[in-house]
Structure 1
Amino acid sequence: MRRLVCVILAVLLLAGCGSGEEEIRSISDDMDCDEVVEVVETAIERGTTYVALEEDDPGVSADLVFALSGAEARPECVEESVRSRAAGLRATLTGTGS
């Protein structure tokens, strides 16, 4: 019985290990415009939260900057207002204000 309890606890602990922050996607050349817009809008939402909560994780910040750059890389897919928001947020994350 004790062994069974230990196995169940181990499984529960392992199940919780991968449930952290969602991966920050970036655009790729094979994405269609809908996918590009989804990536950029998700990065804007996550980046806004990152800034508002004053998070300090260089890896997350770099991933966000890279994802947000998709708005400039694929301007044919992203409206000007969204590109502007992405650029402003990138500047905030990199510390280069406009």
Structure 2
Amino acid sequence: MTRSLRRAFLQGWDLHPAQLVTRHLATWCFYRGELDPTYARLAAWTEGREGQVLDEPATAAALAGHLQSLRRCSELQDGDRIMWGVVPPDDRRLR
């Protein structure tokens, strides 16, 4: 499951209904596991700092999309972004 998510296969149609809970949990773990690095990179980009990785607007938009995916899993709340000092993913600079 996580291998498919890493390769950008975000949906699977071959699941039995009994596997949906496991798929949701695996999806949640995948996005939650990448939360700290995603926040750090997006915060560095929005503040104009240079990090270990050179990011551009398209990369920042992809990182914001990663946060939006976690939010769709009902795990990321608005207060989480404020706590980390990261602009909301719907910021105009990320489009």
Range of TM-score over shorter length: 0.3 to 0.5
